[in-house]
Amino acid sequence: MIAKLCPFPLSPEGEKRIDHLLNRYPDKRSALLQVLHVVQDEHGGYLDMDCIKYVARLFGLPPAEVYSVASFYTMYNLRPVGKYLIQVCTNISCSVNGAEEIVAHIEKRLGIKRGETTPDGKFTLITVECLGSCGTPPAMMVNKEYHEQLTPEKVDKVLDACE
Amino acid sequence: MGEMKVLLKNVHKPNSHLLSTYKEGGGYETLKAALKMEPSQIVEEVKKSGLRGRGGAGFPTGLKWSFVPKTDAPKYLVCNADEGEPGTFKDRVIIEKDPHLLLEGIAISCYAIGAHRAYIYIRGEYEFGAQVLENAIREAEEDGCLGDRPMGHDYPIYITVHRGAGAYVCGEETALLDSLEGRRGHPRIRPPFPASKGLYQSPTVINNVETLSSVVDIIARGGDWYASLGTEKSKGTKLFSISGHVQKPGVYELVMGTPFKELIFEIAGGMRPGRNLKAVIPGGSSTPMLTADEIDIPLDYESLMEAGSMLGSGAVIVLDDTTCIVKETYRLAQFYAHESCGQCTPCREGTHWMVQILKRIVNGQGREEDLDLLLHIGDTLGGNCLCPLGDAALGPVISSVKKFRDEYLEHIKNKRCPIGG
């Protein structure tokens, strides 16, 4: 049922995780944020309207209600993102330790501005709020991985390793 | 005074995150002993210890627990691991390096308040931390430390890790509950308070990671022992995450009342060569700034309050003389405007207008009357919302306008930054 309703091919692990989450709380709705995380992971890192409608059916909620929740939280991408989502922290402890230089370096290297995706769909660059890496600044996340104490050279190494 | 490792006693051990390492150091023995005590005795020990909420508000933990009605209705414990206040990275250390300390603290606290289920609400970005916690829960359940019969006792305790999805406001306890129920994270109207109607309208206690972790040693060594540390009203040890312009940023555990200057200039290595201290944000980005000559004080709740700021989450952000205060204030104002949930008009509009005004000052288009306008927004925004986010936004803005007025005026008169920020 979970896989059958899904508008895109869901992996067996994804199906298992959703099934587990839907039965994990005294009130099913509590699983909404967690299921959105799984669906986004399974759907190439973003949620389109078909994903929203799918989740709405799983929970028996109107799609507008699910969209309202998804749009509240910054980690749900409601538009396509690159294969690698680069998130650079520019909050205070990173900004006083060179975060803007890191952003400028990535912009130059990839030929895009913050908020944009490279034409080949490989990288999306955004700036984000505090990642909790204030003691090891500047910091960024590439997809789910943290990279800290960044220098332009270190950034290059990380991006070189992205295939 | 000075450094003392209670919460951080395990974090430097190899494989500190594993159950075997934790048990070698006597792990879960305190839970075993606690489950033989009366729950009320545990609450009493925590009251005696003087422990106060380490998330930022500093509310007495034992008192918070005692508000839970003694009925048979299901009760919940929620661990607030939504560490999102800029400058704060203390809970991350416990979560990633000593997850079992947190789990043991949660289990003891569950028993004390009569809960069988606990949720750890962890910020979405800490996915690694969430995995560490999930693995730790699995290990502890398989070993019989948690689950159906924790340490052989007939008191089931189930702990679930619940990830957030990127919303600072969910660190506010009632917004957190809405988020945990699968909704937008909007703070609730109080009363009713969570202790009577919280998660699923049931009695709920919400405590910070560091608070719950502190419970383990309080029960192991006694409330009196904990209360013997620190000052008259600020007891025990506290984690300080220090960042910004210091040579050795990091998380340090200090006995309450340690001199502020000792933390900055000795423990954290002081300023870089040739630079001087300009300002300190003492307890997370929402706490009012202190100037370099205002920090000759001890680090405890009361001293920071007297100095016109707050101990908050213990997140010390140090700024040296290369910092443009206006630019950094603008940056923090942007953060709060971005994170305002939009529910209360004064916060939604006020945080937005502060950003617009600060932006034009930074861009050399400011007017002298803008400074009084910022202070006026403070008067209309402060205390007029359902949660403290709006007030938090005022912390850096109001304090910097008052204490660094000359720097603002230079931006306005010369139409550019005197420091080149």
CA angle in degrees (0–180, nearest 5) for B49-B50-B53: 120
A21 to chain B: closest CA residue: B162
Same domain, B269 and B386: no
Answer whether B182 sits within 8 Å of A37, measured CB to CB: no
In a domain, B386, yes or no: yes
Q: Which has the higher per-residue pLDDT, B382 or B326?
A: B326
Asked if the C-beta of A18 comes within 8 angstroms of chain B's C-beta atoms, the answer is no
Q: What is the predicted pLDDT for the residue at B420?
A: 75
Same domain, B109 and B32: yes
User: For the purposes of burial, counting CB atoms within 10 Å of the CB of A39, is it exposed (0-12), middle (13-18) or buried (19 or more)?
Assistant: buried
Task: Provide the pLDDT confidence category of residue A1 given band limits of 50, 70 and 90.
Answer: confident
Q: In 3D, which of A110, A132, A108 has the Cα closest to residue A121?
A: A110
Q: How would DSSP label each residue in B23-66?
A: HHTTTTHHHHHHTTS-HHHHHHHHHHHT-B-TTTT--BHHHHHH
| In chain A, % of residues over pLDDT 70 | 100
Task: Provide the pLDDT confidence category of residue B419 given band limits of 50, 70 and 90.
Answer: confident
| Residue B298 tokens, joined | 């001890």
What distance in Å separates the CA atoms of residue B48 and residue B33, rounded to the nearest whole number? Answer: 18
| CATH label of the domain that carries residue B280 | 3.10.20.600
What distance in Å separates the CA atoms of residue B152 and residue B139, rounded to the nearest whole number? Answer: 16
Q: Look up the pTM and report it.
A: 0.97
Q: Please tell me which of the candidates B86, B127, B242 has its beta carbon nearest to residue A91.
A: B86
Asked if the C-beta of B335 comes within 8 angstroms of chain A's C-beta atoms, the answer is yes
What distance in Å separates the CA atoms of residue B408 and residue A41, rounded to the nearest whole number? Answer: 46
Range of the domain at B334: 325-414
In a domain, B8, yes or no: no
Residues B66-122 pLDDT 10s? 999 989 899 999 999 999 999 999 999 999 999 999 999 999 999 999 999 999 999
Q: How many helices (H) and strands (E) does chain B have?
A: 17, 9
Q: How would DSSP label each residue in B271-310?
A: SPTT--EEEEE-SSTTSPPEEGGG--SBSSHHHHHHTTS-
The answer on pLDDT for B421 being more than 80 is no
Residues 6+ apart with CB under 8 A from B189: B386
Residues A91-130 pLDDT 10s? 999 999 999 999 999 999 999 999 999 999 999 999 999 9
Q: Name the E strands within B66-184.
A: 76-81, 117-122, 158-163
Residues B154-209 pLDDT 10s? 999 999 999 999 999 999 999 999 999 999 999 999 999 999 999 999 999 999 99
Q: In 3D, which of B45, B82, B90, B94 has the Cα closest to residue B65?
A: B45
Residues 6+ apart with CB under 8 A from B396: B281, B285, B286, B288, B289, B328, B329, B332, B333
Pairing of strands A140-142, A145-147: antiparallel
Domains of chain A: 2-72 (1.10.10), 84-160 (3.40.30.10)
In a domain, B11, yes or no: no
Residues B115-142 pLDDT 10s? 999 999 999 999 999 999 999 999 999 9
**Cβ–Cβ < 8 Å for B251, B90:** yes
Same domain, B211 and B65: yes
B338 to chain A: closest CA residue: A129
Taking residues B285-301, what's their average pLDDT?
Answer: 97
Within 136-155 of A, beta carbons closer than 8 Å to B belong to 136-137, 141, 144, 146
Tally A–B CB contacts below 8 A. 131
Same domain, B254 and B402: no
Q: What is the predicted pLDDT for the residue at B378?
A: 92
Answer whether B84 sits within 8 Å of A26, measured CB to CB: no
**Cβ–Cβ < 8 Å for A90, A127:** yes
What distance in Å separates the CA atoms of residue B296 and residue A21, rounded to the nearest whole number? Answer: 51
| Domain end position, chosen among B256, B286, B320 | B320
Q: Please tell me which of the candidates A29, A133, A144 has its beta carbon nearest to residue B127.
A: A144
Taking residues B365-376, what's their average pLDDT?
Answer: 96
Rounded (to 5) percent helix, strand, coil in chain B: 45, 15, 40
| CATH label of the domain that carries residue B105 | 3.40.50.11540
Same domain, B193 and B303: no
* Residue A115 distance to chain B (closest CA, Å): 16
Q: Please tell me which of the candidates B83, B162, B328 has its beta carbon nearest to residue A96.
A: B328
B178 to chain A: closest CA residue: A30
In a domain, B13, yes or no: no
Q: Please tell me which of the candidates B88, B163, B245 has its beta carbon nearest to residue A34.
A: B163
Residues 6+ apart with CB under 8 A from B78: B118, B119, B120, B121, B173, B176, B177, B180, B198, B199, B204, B205, B206, B207
What distance in Å separates the CA atoms of residue A69 and residue B243, rounded to the nearest whole number? Answer: 33
In a domain, B205, yes or no: yes
**Cβ–Cβ < 8 Å for A56, B292:** no
Same domain, B275 and B182: no
Indicate the number of domains in chain B.
3
What distance in Å separates the CA atoms of residue B43 and residue B218, rounded to the nearest whole number? Answer: 11
Same domain, B294 and B346: no
Same domain, B180 and B34: yes
* Residue A150 distance to chain B (closest CA, Å): 15
Contacts of A72 in chain B (CB under 8 A): 167, 184-185, 341
Residues A22-36 pLDDT 10s? 999 999 999 999 999
Q: What is the predicted pLDDT for the residue at A158?
A: 97
Asked if the C-beta of B165 comes within 8 angstroms of chain A's C-beta atoms, the answer is yes
* Residue A27 distance to chain B (closest CA, Å): 8
* Residue B225 distance to chain A (closest CA, Å): 31
| Residue A111 tokens, joined | 């030929």
Same domain, B335 and B408: yes
User: Taking all residues of chain B, what is their mean pLDDT, rounded to a whole number?
Assistant: 97
Rounded (to 5) percent helix, strand, coil in chain A: 45, 10, 40
Within 99-128 of A, beta carbons closer than 8 Å to B belong to none
Buried b (16+ CB within 10 A) or exposed e, B17-50: bbbebbeeeebbebbeebbeeebeebbbbbbbbb
What distance in Å separates the CA atoms of residue A81 and residue B143, rounded to the nearest whole number? Answer: 42
The answer on pLDDT for B1 being more than 90 is no
User: Taking all residues of chain A, what is their mean pLDDT, rounded to a whole number?
Assistant: 97
Residues 6+ apart with CB under 8 A from B198: B76, B78, B177, B204, B205, B206
Same domain, B112 and B197: yes
Other residues' Cβ atoms within 10 Å of the Cβ of residue A98: 16
| In chain B, % of residues over pLDDT 70 | 100
Same domain, B56 and B177: yes
In a domain, B1, yes or no: no
Residues B229-271 pLDDT 10s? 999 999 999 999 999 999 999 999 999 999 999 999 999 999 9
Contacts of A31 in chain B (CB under 8 A): 182
What distance in Å separates the CA atoms of residue B401 and residue A86, rounded to the nearest whole number? Answer: 34
Q: Which has the higher per-residue pLDDT, B71 or B45?
A: B45
Same domain, B197 and B112: yes
Q: What is the predicted pLDDT for the residue at B263?
A: 98
In a domain, B106, yes or no: yes
| Domain end position, chosen among B227, B253, B274 | B227
In a domain, B290, yes or no: yes
| Domain end position, chosen among B164, B192, B227 | B227
The answer on pLDDT for B321 being more than 90 is yes
| CATH label of the domain that carries residue B358 | 1.20.1440.230
